[in-house]
Structure 1
Amino acid sequence: MTPPQARTLVTAGSRVAVLPLLALGAVWAATRLGMLVLLVRDDIGFGGVSREVYLTYAHWYGELTRGTFPVDDPTWQYPPGAGALFLAPALVPALTYFQAFVALALLADAAVTVALARAGGIRGGGVWMWTGGLPLLLHIPFARYDVQVTALAVLALLSLHRRPWLGGVLAGLGATVKLWPALALLGTPRGHSTRAAWASAAGAVLALLAVLSLGLSHPLDFLRQQGGRGIQIESLGGTALALIRLSGGEEGVEFRYGAFEFTGPHVAAVACVSFLLTAAALVFLLLWRVRAKRWTTATPFDAALCAVLLLTVTSRVISPQYLIWLLGLAAACLTSPHTGQRPVALLLLPAAALSSLAYPLLYDDVITVTPLGCAVVLVRNALLLTAALLSARRLWTATT
């Protein structure tokens, strides 16, 4: 029989273990309820955050159910796997399309929370980074499909250590939806892990593309809509153009390709610089992969966050939902005690808050390029640029 004193210690230990779980559950439920309330009201700042779902996504859903990907639609810029996500609300026929979409986004959010808690512990920084960081974006996460994509990338990273093949499958599925989850495999250790992960990723990509191509026509039409993208007003290049406009330049703003973009005499030059910076980031990542010699359990997490940060800040587009990706990857980093990305993760929190300040709260100022709107985006982008450079330096010094 268990002595009374031992039973008391076991009971006390169980109570201590339950308290953080209850705290996590309470914070998650309260913050998600607040996000849902904002989504239902959808009347703060530049309204219409949710119309992306019940107008654009629902329209695409209608075309997909008729057996074709959107054709000649400049706003359709997503790989074929995105079609599966836009069709997913059909799995919940009792709800409207909008309700089912939000419910699935909430389910993906919960899955990431549980996975991070299991990987890094309930008291770990990873699960709290995600639980507390996502609400900084207000209701945007539940009105975009990036939470689902981020869930695939985070689950892929957390699976790589024990089951490289499973991590590869999840990363491959994510890549068919929005390309960037493929970067989750950048930091896999050389040898069997890399071969297993990359082979299973390739298999998953080919399998899903084959299924979608058999069921839907025009799966590659999205490629036609990529080349014409300009400089979005919230991107790093957009900040440079905003400063030129405030200094008396002739730059204008137009709604094209589903986003507000700059027009004017300096756009082509800024787009060229953006392309060159993206190329430089890819060269750096390739060089790092070749030169890296020391791997820890945190290296795949750190490399994925670094890669996505570098390609985000050099992109012609930085939409607020991109912060969902970065928060998820930073949370994965914080599940490991060996990560070198803790300062980077801390920089992403104010960047997320400023992103929701720029959109939707002050989006009128951002569109019209007022000093206030420009200042908010400038500070946000400065934080992202600092985070990207710091992430690259810490990844390089920790592994080469």
Structure 2
Amino acid sequence: MRSPRAARIALWLAFAAVHALVAWLGWALPNQPMGDVYLVYEPWSDRALAGERIVGITEPWVYPILALAPMLLTQALGFLGPYAIGWAVLVTACDAVAFWLLVGRARSRPRVIAAAFWLGYALLLGPIGMYRIDAVTVPLAVAGVLWLAGRPSVAGALLAAATWIKVWPAALLGSVAVASWWRARRRATGVVAGALVLTGVLVGAVAIAGGARHLLGFVATQQGRGLQIEAPAATPYLWGAVAGLDGWYPYYDRTILTFQVAGPGADAIAALMNPLLALAAVAILGVAAWKARRGAAAARLVPPAALALTLAMIVCNKVGSPQFHAWLIAPLVLWLLWDRRRAWPLAIGGLACAALTHLVYPILYGSVLAVSPLGIAVLTARNVCLVALLAWAIVRLARVPAGARGAAPRRRADPRRAAAERA
């Protein structure tokens, strides 16, 4: 077996290689995979620094207020060159901190495996995983899941901070709070307390800055969106466009700055997606709560609940942007740390989704926009993979045994459980 020192060196060399390659692909691949960074994030931060308009404070914004922080921090790296380079450096630095926490001295096999999975996923997902605001939430979420057992209040604060950048880490917060409440209440209360403290401080700061009325503006700005072409629910409309059906076509919305689909009932389906997402979230958390009350072990229950809820936020979403697939890293890392034997099939499915997403955007995006059968077929395969992964995670959640059956035999489970608790 490779020594811990050799494993650590190999992982860090792989970390550097993956991040350098993914950063370069942002420049090399077509369809501007880093376009949002210099076309949107840079102007927002420029205006904020100039004191002209501060998104989320003086006007409503599509993102939660803390998303402005990494955009402003990137401005401090202007000495490195273009804004996009500073962004790539910032994301790499954030990833490095979480990766260091994960790898440690590379003496834990689950941690080494989880670290290797993260790098493989980042490589397969490509530049969209680096050149979007979601990239900053990934290391925060990974650090949060690492500290769930030992420092739950810190974990809650980190996950809350990530939620105030992009909403998806709320899936991790909710899953941990519900699935841990009966068998690991100290963890659950610590996570909730840390999240509430961070949220209280942030809300107070925004109120002092005069932005209280725009604090939840990101919720309202999502209401008017149509059905984005990458969303799973948009797939039938894309095939209708391939078939040349009258009125079925993709178009560019200049208000939201994204490609959406038109067709019979498209607006109605878009309006139904938010209620469907809420219903799916309630159902998943309801199953987790029922299992927890019946005595299911939190270490068995939290990972499938977190993954299922995160996947529901992608599948039951009218937006469906490709960067959403970076969200799967943290719940899959958590599952690999706590129960890697059961996590492996889901992790492989996640890697397949990441690879297909990279093909869809940016490599075949022109083909998708032109409603070419090849591009739409690859996008459809990705969406089918997503739906299958969600169904699989829900089945795994439903099959978590309750009571005494929820724990593995003591003699064989102790080493693994100890590793999970240290994680």
Given residue 30 of structure 1, which amino acid in structure 2 is its aligned partner?
Answer: A
Counterpart in the other structure of 2:150: 162
Instruction: Identify if the C-alpha distance between structure 1 residues 308 and 390 changes in structure 2 by more than 3 Å, giving closer, same or farther.
Output: same
Aligned-partner SS, 1:336: helix
In structure 1, distance between residues paired with 2:202 and 2:58: 23
Offset of 1:194 from its aligned partner? Answer: 1.5
* Equivalence map 1:10-25=2 (5 Å): 16-25=3-12
In structure 1, distance between residues paired with 2:341 and 2:290: 19
1:276-319 Cα offsets, whole Å, 9 max, x none, are 53133122123123202312435333322221011211111211
**Contact 2:56–2:65, Cα closer than 8 Å, also in 1:** no
In structure 2, distance between residues paired with 1:123 and 1:182: 24
Aligned residues: 384
Offset of 1:57 from its aligned partner? Answer: 0.4
State whether structure 2 residue 38 is matched by structure 1 residue 54: yes
State whether structure 2 residue 77 is matched by structure 1 residue 92: yes
In structure 1, distance between residues paired with 2:221 and 2:61: 7
2:191 to 187, 197, 202: 197
In structure 2, distance between residues paired with 1:326 and 1:55: 26
Given residue 318 of structure 1, which amino acid in structure 2 is its aligned partner?
Answer: G
In structure 2, distance between residues paired with 1:45 and 1:178: 26
* Equivalence map 1:233-312=2 (5 Å): 233-249=229-245, 250-256=247-253, 257-292=256-291, 293-297=295-299, 299-312=301-314
Higher alpha-carbon deviation: 297-306 or 147-156 = 297-306
Counterpart in the other structure of 2:413: none
Instruction: Identify if the C-alpha distance between structure 1 residues 273 and 294 changes in structure 2 by more than 3 Å, giving closer, same or farther.
Output: same
1:59-88 Cα offsets, whole Å, 9 max, x none, are 110232216433899994111111122212
Offset of 1:122 from its aligned partner? Answer: 7.4
Instruction: Identify if the C-alpha distance between structure 1 residues 259 and 399 changes in structure 2 by more than 3 Å, giving closer, same or farther.
Output: farther
1:391 to 390, 393, 399: 393
Instruction: Identify if the C-alpha distance between structure 1 residues 219 and 280 changes in structure 2 by more than 3 Å, giving closer, same or farther.
Output: closer
Aligned-partner SS, 1:260: strand
User: TM-score, normalised on structure 2?
Assistant: 0.83
2:95 to 109, 116, 121: 109
* Equivalence map 1:15-54=2 (5 Å): 16-39=3-26, 42-46=27-31, 48-54=32-38
Aligned-partner SS, 1:154: helix
State whether structure 2 residue 169 is matched by structure 1 residue 172: no
Offset of 1:201 from its aligned partner? Answer: 0.4
User: TM-score, normalised on structure 1?
Assistant: 0.88
**Contact 2:251–2:261, Cα closer than 8 Å, also in 1:** yes
In structure 2, distance between residues paired with 1:276 and 1:353: 30
Counterpart in the other structure of 1:208: 202
Instruction: Identify if the C-alpha distance between structure 1 residues 233 and 73 changes in structure 2 by more than 3 Å, giving closer, same or farther.
Output: farther
**Contact 1:75–1:258, Cα closer than 8 Å, also in 2:** no
Instruction: Identify if the C-alpha distance between structure 1 residues 109 and 399 changes in structure 2 by more than 3 Å, giving closer, same or farther.
Output: farther
In structure 2, distance between residues paired with 1:382 and 1:396: 21
In structure 2, distance between residues paired with 1:44 and 1:200: 41
Aligned-partner SS, 1:262: strand
In structure 2, distance between residues paired with 1:306 and 1:226: 22
* Equivalence map 1:114-193=2 (5 Å): 114-118=100-104, 121=109, 124-185=112-173, 186-188=175-177, 189-190=180-181, 191-193=185-187
State whether structure 2 residue 363 is matched by structure 1 residue 367: no
CA RMSD of aligned residues (A): 2.6
In structure 1, distance between residues paired with 2:59 and 2:273: 21
Counterpart in the other structure of 1:378: 380
Given residue 181 of structure 1, which amino acid in structure 2 is its aligned partner?
Answer: P
* Identity across matched positions, percent: 28
Higher alpha-carbon deviation: 369-378 or 334-343 = 334-343
Instruction: Identify if the C-alpha distance between structure 1 residues 340 and 370 changes in structure 2 by more than 3 Å, giving closer, same or farther.
Output: same
1:247-293 Cα offsets, whole Å, 9 max, x none, are 34322222221211012322023324534531331221231232023
Instruction: Identify if the C-alpha distance between structure 1 residues 93 and 366 changes in structure 2 by more than 3 Å, giving closer, same or farther.
Output: closer
In structure 2, distance between residues paired with 1:88 and 1:216: 21
In structure 2, distance between residues paired with 1:310 and 1:76: 24
Counterpart in the other structure of 2:407: none
| Structure 2: 5+ residue stretches without partners | 403-423
Given residue 254 of structure 1, which amino acid in structure 2 is its aligned partner?
Answer: Y
In structure 2, distance between residues paired with 1:373 and 1:284: 33
Instruction: Identify if the C-alpha distance between structure 1 residues 28 and 244 changes in structure 2 by more than 3 Å, giving closer, same or farther.
Output: same
